[in-house]
Amino acid sequence: AMDLFGDLRRMNKRQLYYQVLNFAMIVSSALMIWKGLIVVTGSESPIVVVLSGSMEPAFHRGDLLFLTNFHDDPIRAGEIVVFKVEGRDIPIVHRVIKIHEKENGNIKFLTKGDNNEVDDRGLYKEGQNWLEKKDVVGRARGFLPYVGMVTIIMNDYPKFKYALLAVMGAYVLLKRES
């Protein structure tokens, strides 16, 4: 750690400003890419990590899902959706098992985890028996197996997350262009 501060002290102000700007560009580029994905996919969260085993064997804990959420695309039974429930912060990844379509075109639907014994009515807010289109964050369109385990590890061990961020930040600040 002392070596790190020694490196910082040896840099002249111009080098330090350059490194800080470089770091800011990396962060802003990542944010722009994320916002671009939101626009292209129509989903407020175009990439999510499966956090539980409720969808096994289709998806395992740590799988990274790619989502789209186009409003003119009707939801069908058998599709895997990611939805948010009032009062819960974390979205849920489950399969649509029943569709309830009204004559005016409104659709309500019921979900269930492939690995669960019962449907999701116990997860919905009190008094809610069906989900609506507004509850959907997106629909699974593809996945990368286990890539999201890094996210799960960082959530389970916050100290690891801060250590990793500190190392990455120090690397970007101290890395000199050759």
Tell me if residue 73 is catalytic: no
Respond yes or no: is residue 43 known to be catalytic.
Answer: no
Answer whether 83's CB lies under 8 Å from 130's CB: no
Catalytic, 94? Answer yes
Distance CA 166, CA 163 (A): 5
Choose the catalytic residue: 54, 73, 156, 178: 54
Listed in sequence order, the residues at least 6 apart from 84 whose beta carbon sits closer than 8 Å to its beta carbon are 91, 92, 135, 137
Measured between alpha carbons, how far is residue 62 from residues 65, 115, 150 in Å? 9, 16, 8
- The residue annotated as part of the active site, out of 43, 73, 114, 120, is 120
Among all residues, which ones are annotated catalytic? 54, 94, 120
